[in-house]
Amino acid sequence: MAQTRRVPVFGSRPPCAYQSRLDERSLQLRMTRMERNRKSDKPEDFVCYEDSDEEEESTMSLCTMLNSSYNFVDYIRNREYGMREYRSINQNHGTRHILTHDLFKEQSIPLKTMNKVFCSQWLSSKQIVFGTKCNKLMVYNVKSHELDQIPSIKGRIDEAADQQSGIHSLKINPSRTLLATGAYNSNEIAVYRLPTLDPIVLAEGAHKDWIFDIEWLDDEFFVSGSRDTKLALWQVQDKYQEKYDSDGDLIQPITQFLNPAVIRSCKTAQKVRAITFNKNLKEMVTLSLNGYVHVWDVERFRQKFSRRLSSCQDNVCMAMKNDSSLYAVGCRSYTLLLDSRTLHTIKKIPARYSGCGLYILVLSCLILNFLLATYFSNTFLK
């Protein structure tokens, strides 16, 4: 976890340099190899490897190890005293320890009669909001285990029942003051104020088919993509202020109806499935189900070019690295890593189990966190 290079004050060696440490290390490595080579009925989910597993340690590395302390207390004291001795710490030690020792456990949440979870977001450190296939917007409290339903916003035109295909997307603006998600009709968008979840806007009139994804460009503008291959740009102006009556009680805000600012057709696309905004390149990238990635100029809201992926098997989700240098595309049987500048495939990661794809993924640094599987159980959210 931590390493501190000790410098002797008296003599030629520091107090941690004694031969029995090398003997203990050699024995520990030998036992680790034996344990790893032992066949187990249950395969391990996470296996970590050290440099010493691949090759014999040189005399120089053994000398360095002998003169180094791997005690975390020595590392803290060395840092507090401002000593010039070399010191380092493994930032991933805690995460690796949790994964390899099965300390990270998933908890099942019974959803009773609800059918499949399509999207989810953290509202706060103790609240999760998610949308279901049965068109329900729910909030779950991880502390009290309470599950509350948020009323859906209905449009002015009563659509047919087949327009309720579920809530496929749920996004929060950068300042975390507004939440955009699917409305009562799946071709409309409902905007709620946070943290109260008061309905304030219903975005309508842009799409004739289900809305698959929503992406905020800033605190005011967001883009929606639909199965009708259309992209719509919306502007939610900051004029929805809280109002109170004479008794000091909060007045329920009146839902405003919003028309799209711009509507564009995504060329060479069949059903827009995912949208990602690259702030550094000032580009918006969309993913379509026919296996194309489309790049848009955000400032002009114009399509620049499209690139075909190596496969078009259920490309349904996309994410971006924090520094905007990498895109990840989730498919049925693998995940593609793309260079954001050229859209060339850098890495193809196969799925662990054949036939199991991805529905949502998040790309953080170089770690893919697969949040939700393609098909959820109709009674549990995991």
At residue 219, the pLDDT reads 93
In this predicted model, what pLDDT tens digit does every residue of 309-368 receive, in sequence order? 877 677 888 889 888 888 988 887 788 889 988 888 888 888 766 655 555 555 543 344
At residue 160, the pLDDT reads 53
At residue 139, the pLDDT reads 95
pLDDT averaged over every residue in the chain: 80
In sequence order, what are the beta bridge partners of 150? 137
Quick one: average pLDDT of 34-49?
62
At residue 304, the pLDDT reads 92
Lowest-confidence range among 99-108, 154-163, 187-196, 369-378?
369-378
Quick one: average pLDDT of 254-259?
86
Both tokens assigned to 61: 């590395």
At residue 250, the pLDDT reads 63
At residue 367, the pLDDT reads 40
At residue 371, the pLDDT reads 36
Lowest-confidence range among 15-24, 42-51, 70-79, 127-136?
42-51
Residue 163, pLDDT above cutoff 80? no
Task: Kindly indicate the confidence band of residue 262, based on its pLDDT and cuts at 50, 70 and 90.
Answer: very high
Quick one: average pLDDT of 239-243?
64
